Amino acid sequence: MVENQAILRFAGATKRFGDFVAVDHVDFEVHNKEIVSIIGENGAGKSTFCKMLTGVYSIDDGEMYFEGKRVHYRNTTESMKAGISMVYQERNLVGMLTGAQNIVLGHEPGKRFISERQAYERAVEIRDKLRLTIPLDVPVEELGAGEQQLIEIMRAFYNDPKVLILDEPTASLGEGEVEPFLDFVKNVRNTMDIAIIFISHKIEELFAVSDRIAVLTDGRNMLTDHVENLTQIQVITAMLRTGKSYGRVPVAEKDFSALPVILDVEKAFYDGREHELNFQVHKGEVVGFYGLVGSGRTECAEMLFGLRKAEKSYTFNGSTITRCNTRSMIERGMIMTPEKRANGMFKALSLVDNICNLFLKSGLSGRGAGVVKRAKSKEFADRILSDNDVKYNFPGQAISSLSGGNIQKIIIGRSIAIENITLLILDEPTNGIDVGAKFEIYQKVRQLTDTKEEQKRIGVLFISSEIDELLNVCDKIYVFSDGNIIQGFERSHFNKQDILSVAVRGKRIDG
């Protein structure tokens, strides 16, 4: 079935961003009529790798060969013309347009528009080629998730690709849609002259659909073999990160059962369905949320903080919460720092304004209506900057001029300065910062929960894609999959392989 010569091959492919090596001398190949799946933990280099294949990123070292010829694609247009198409995890459909219109969108030959008849005929041609039966004359917003995913794939087939890259194609599919979709992918492999690269975090899908599986870990290809030669344990073991340098913070095993429960959550209905959560956060406890991309960690936190509409009933500080917004939750003592730092700051404003704008009601802000007390604002900002060891030149400089680590210190520092804070939710707080800054954040988190002044102790929800830092800083870790919490691990039972296995398989480990 598989030809001797690979249709696409990487030899020692490397991509650097400054001193950071995102893809490290990777050898990889895929043949015609073959499905090669790529799996790796969050941050393993899968996205960067695919962007090198499609011309989004250049290759710093190594070589790329397509149909036996050395190539260098400067952009996605060049790679698509050569025969490489990618279907991204984030859908790129226009809901109000029909399936046919979405399929031809961006492919209009040499002129701005083509007729409705031409668009429909071309879409039908592609649909028939792929042996599909989904409607093409209705707005895609009226189609189900599985049908929308197939529209995306039909769009990728507009130029008859020789290599198709599917990035987490089942992430948004319902349980009953996954198996038919995998059957469709295998049928495409069997009936067409095409090579498929299938990226997924779901290990059972990989074993169901793949001819070979490749494991990326810290940007390196740690394992590639035919699926019949592999076990799930071998793949999970290859995914485990090695050699990561994390500053260690002392965390003793504690019994929190006798301490006050700050947050108690069982179930909630949001994003169109009910989610099984079942977790608690005690006073002085650091609780970690782990899961692979799309597992639902951030969505759960946003629901708690009032950023996501939900039907819910959970207990926070002894009160039952059914309806809330961010303002009301802050007043109750909950604060959340966003995953993207850009969403937690005003780039063009000064350090003082970025710190004090969270405290408008206190009269600290120096902007907008009621502008007063600049001296008081500066004094308060100076204290936040000093207490959190922020490296800066002067308080009036724009926050965007600071390093990522120092910006994060400000975002966390101003959050915990809220007078009645009892729960701090940190969403990917160390993303994109150096090891030294990470260690300082770990220390800050443990200071907030371990302080000897009992009245100042708070609870922390720490959301991270890095198992190692959760193992480092947390008292308990909950693992998410498909929007639900699958299993919790007490510190005395922390095991990196078990935690990753639960996340990848989406199933509890007994014992």
Looking at residue 44, its amino acid is A
Tens digits of residue pLDDT in 65-76: 999 999 999 998
**pLDDT band at residue 242 using 50, 70 and 90 as cut-offs:** low
Q: Which letter does DSSP use for residue 260 in this model? A: P
Domain 8-239 shares a fold with domain 246-333+420-511: yes
Q: What is the CA radius of gyration of the chain?
A: 25
Domain definitions of the chain by residue range: 8-239, 246-333+420-511, 352-417
Tell me which of 3.40.50.1860, 2.60.120.10, 3.40.50.300, 3.90.550.10 is the CATH number of domain 8-239: 3.40.50.300
- Global pTM exceeds 0.95: no
In the structure, what pLDDT confidence band is assigned to residue 383 with cuts at 50, 70 and 90? Answer: confident
The answer, yes or no, to whether residue 112 has pLDDT greater than 90, is: no
The 10s digit of each residue's pLDDT in 447-481 is 989 988 888 899 999 999 888 889 999 999 999 99
pLDDT at 51 over 80: yes
Work out whether strand 273-282 and strand 261-270 pair parallel, antiparallel, or are unpaired. Answer: antiparallel
The whole-chain average pLDDT of the chain stands at 86
pLDDT in tens, 294-331: 889 999 999 999 999 899 999 999 999 998 898 899 98
CA distance 4 to 68: 11
404-415, pLDDT tens digit by residue? 778 888 888 888
Residue 361 has pLDDT above 70, yes or no: no
The mean-pLDDT minimum among 144-148, 309-313, 326-330, 484-488 falls in 144-148
Specify the CATH number of the domain 246-333+420-511.
3.40.50.300
CB 307 within 8 A of CB 484: no
Q: Could you give the CA distance from residue 163 to residue 66 in angstroms, rounded to a whole number?
A: 10
